[in-house]
Amino acid sequence: MAITMYQASVPVFIKLLGNLKAILEKAAAHAAAKKIDESVFVNARLYPDMLPLSAQVQIASDMARGTMARLSGAEPPAIEDKEKTFAELIARIDTAVAYVRTFQAPQIDGSETRQITRKLRGNAVTFTGLDYLLTFAMPNFYFHVTTTYAILRHSGVELGKGDFLGLG
């Protein structure tokens, strides 16, 4: 049995966004318990030239939404990047999950050969749907989810691999 484009995308995005939400909920509880202003975490970075946690979550949610829209032949609706609290970031994740859930298999399956052109660093890059999903969208999505986890873990939030995998 072959895996379909839908199976390789929708359930993965929903699962990892749910894990990301749980990680942010743990971080919010940690901040409250330790009486640390949430902005310390929301604005934290692993290195000065990297984006803050808020942007990592925004990009991860945008990557999930954008991938599904583009695989279906549409453009994703724009969402303003304005979240400043864990509650706002969690709401953004909920919005992304709700959007991803709107896609049905017939909209996504068969998109392996769809031409998807994105502007990357000022240059137009064209992918097939399969290459877009497997070599661009998923690696980017995982990068930003992982970076969110790493920022919070580095900042003292008690997280483990089980939290990242949704087993914790």
1: how many CB neighbours lie within 10 A of its CB? Answer: 4
* pLDDT tops 90 at residue 151: yes
- With a CB cutoff of 8 Å and minimum separation 6, the contacts of 160 are 168
Distance, in Å, from the CA atom of 16 to the CA atom of 97, rounded to the nearest integer, reads 10
5 exposure class (CB count in 10 Å sphere: 0-12, 13-18, 19+): buried
pLDDT digit string, tens, across residues 87-138: 999 999 999 999 999 999 999 999 999 999 999 999 999 999 999 999 999 9
Q: Cβ distance 134 to 123 under 8 Å?
A: no
pLDDT of residue 63: 98
Per-residue pLDDT band for 83 (boundaries 50, 70, 90) equals very high
Would you kindly state where each structural domain of the chain is located, as residue ranges?
Answer: 5-165
pLDDT of residue 168: 67
In the chain, pLDDT over 90 holds for what percent of residues? Answer: 99
Task: Work out the mean pLDDT of the chain and round it to a whole number.
Answer: 97
* pLDDT tops 80 at residue 1: no
Class for domain 5-165, per CATH? mainly alpha
Q: What is the mean pLDDT of residues 5-32?
A: 98
